[in-house]
Structure 1
Amino acid sequence: MIVIGLTGSIGMGKSAVAAMFMAEGVPVFDADAAVHRLQGPGGRLLAPIEARFPGTTGSDGVNRAALGQAVFGNPEALAALEAIVHPVVALDRLAFLRRNRARPMVVLDIPLLFEKGGSARVDHIVVVSAPAWKQRRRVLARPGMTPEKFRRILKLQLPDAQKRLRADTVVDTGGAKAATRAKIRQLVACLRAKQRRYCS
């Protein structure tokens, strides 16, 4: 089984590319979706998060605004949250890999693939990228997003140019969706043909 690591900075179109992989029949593990589920009502992360950050959870799960306030701009608090979240998400990812072990390939959609050392655990790295102006426009159109919050998020992420240099495949989402879809279809066909070293 080929494990594809899918990553890209905020606003680059990674979710759209993940959906394109799924449309080609490739199972996708979405790390962000796993976190949302594990932090949702009855989720495994609620109790440890509440213990460390009192008042940030409730019957509906984690209050993301309250938790964000507690950790943003506070490296120590952020590290404490990651120490709670990452091991549980890793177990969820392992269960996904076991369920799909007979598949020819899977995708691990991990936003901080490089930043948290996950690139060593995948076979082929796909970086989703777009022009900076388009990234900014996409991100600032999100509800509750501000230029300052956008800047803080970017500081936590490896610059796009460095991600592109480390990629086996760069997928440009700055143009037409049809072109991006064709790129994913071509990559999946190449990987299925077991020609990984030639797939770009």
Structure 2
Amino acid sequence: MTGPLIIGLTGSIGMGKSTVAAMFEAAGVPVFDADAEVRAMQGPAGALVAAIEAEFPGSTDETGVLRDRLGQEVFGDTSALARLEAIVHPAVARKREAFLAEHLDAPLVVFDIPLLFEKGGHASVDRIVVVSASAETQRQRVLARPDMTPEKFAHILSLQTPDAEKRERADHVIDTGQSLGGTEEDVIALIAQLRADAANRDPL
């Protein structure tokens, strides 16, 4: 048995990746949400709270990680960010492996990973789907978020692989700059194609 075709779903901030991930899930495709796993492990009694508190004293309380306070500690500090990632990334990888083990019978699974290219995750998936829209649409969406500033947006973009490069490296691109219905039609068509591809693979 070959196991599922592993789809890496990614996209820059504000491109609509979470919306597209929800469309995959609604169509019956198991989705591993890396960000959601991190939030759970950083929440009340979360598995990473003690380790994060030890590395960044005062960054947690009984509710879990104080995301704003921790964000201030690592924002713009590459060394601090690396120390945080050394705690978080191995834990997420273990969760992802467990998720895959649970869904070995599925034809497809989606790994929803925001920093797929930036952290090397693209090497461990079979297909890459990039969610994209125009730079202007992206900017409007992001700056409409609470507590977002042009400076913060610029900093986040500086940490991400440029959208044009992501599109070039993708196997498939989903355009979220169109209507929601149009995007959903594209996702459904892509799922059908990927399921056919999964069925036609040669067994190991």
Report the TM range for the smaller structure's normalisation.
over 0.9
Note if contact 1:190-1:196 (Cα within 8 Å) is conserved in structure 2: no
Measure, in 1, the Cα distance between the counterparts of 2:23 and 2:104.
21
Instruction: Give the corresponding residue for 2:186.
Output: 183
Instruction: Please report the RMSD computed on the Cα atoms of aligned residues, expressed in angstroms.
Output: 1.2
- 2:157 counterpart of 1:154: yes
Gaps of 5+ in 1: none
Alignment match of 1:7 (pick from 7, 10, 15) = 10
Letter in 2 for 1:158: T
SS of the residue corresponding to residue 197 of structure 2 reads: coil
Alignment match of 1:41 (pick from 31, 44, 59) = 44
- 2:30 counterpart of 1:20: no
Instruction: Give the corresponding residue for 2:119.
Output: 116
Instruction: Give the corresponding residue for 2:141.
Output: 138
> Cα deviations across residues 92-150 of structure 1 (Å, max 9, x unaligned)?
11111011111000000000000000001000100000001110111111111111111
Higher mean Cα deviation, 51-60 or 187-196?
Answer: 187-196
Measure, in 2, the Cα distance between the counterparts of 1:115 and 1:51.
26
Alignment match of 1:171 (pick from 170, 174, 198) = 174
Measure, in 2, the Cα distance between the counterparts of 1:173 and 1:19.
13
Note if contact 2:107-2:199 (Cα within 8 Å) is conserved in structure 1: no
SS of the residue corresponding to residue 193 of structure 1 reads: helix
> Cα deviations across residues 9-58 of structure 1 (Å, max 9, x unaligned)?
00000000000001110010000001000000011110110000000001
Gaps of 5+ in 2: none
SS of the residue corresponding to residue 137 of structure 2 reads: helix
Counterparts in 2 of 1:68 and 1:183: CA distance versus 1, 3 Å? same
Note if contact 1:5-1:107 (Cα within 8 Å) is conserved in structure 2: yes
- 2:86 counterpart of 1:97: no
Instruction: Give the corresponding residue for 2:59.
Output: 56
| Shift of residue 162, structure 1, vs aligned partner | 0.2
SS of the residue corresponding to residue 113 of structure 1 reads: coil
> How does the TM-score come out when normalised to structure 1?
0.96
- 2:41 counterpart of 1:73: no
| Shift of residue 194, structure 1, vs aligned partner | 2.0
- Number of aligned residues: 197
Measure, in 1, the Cα distance between the counterparts of 2:137 and 2:157.
15
| Shift of residue 193, structure 1, vs aligned partner | 1.3
Note if contact 2:107-2:198 (Cα within 8 Å) is conserved in structure 1: no
Higher mean Cα deviation, 45-54 or 185-194?
Answer: 185-194
